[in-house]
Amino acid sequence: MKFTGIWQGKAQKLRGNGELEYRLLVDEGGQLYVQITGNSEGGTFSGDMAFSVAEFINFVGSNRDPEEKPKGIVIENGDEKESENENDKGFLKAIVNQLLPGMLSK
pLDDT in tens, 8-65: 999 999 888 899 999 999 999 999 999 999 999 988 999 999 999 999 999 888 867 8
Full-model pTM:
0.92
Q: What angle do CA 98, 4, 99 make, to 5 degrees?
A: 10
Q: Is residue 105 part of a domain?
A: no
**Residue 37: inside a domain, yes or no?**
yes
Q: Which residue from 43, 39, 68, 40 is spatially nearest to 56, judged by alpha carbons?
A: 68
The reply to whether 106 falls in a domain is no
Q: How confident is the model at residue 105 (pLDDT cuts 50, 70, 90)?
A: low
Amino acid at 67: E
With respect to residue 22, please indicate whether it lies within any of the assigned structural domains.
yes
Judge whether 23 lies within some domain: yes
As a whole number, mean pLDDT of residues 71-86 equals: 96
Tally of domains in the chain:
1
Strand extents, DSSP E, the chain: 3-12, 19-27, 32-39, 49-52, 71-74, 80-82
Q: How many CB atoms lie within 10 A of CB 7?
A: 12
Domain span including residue 20: 3-99
104 located within any domain: no
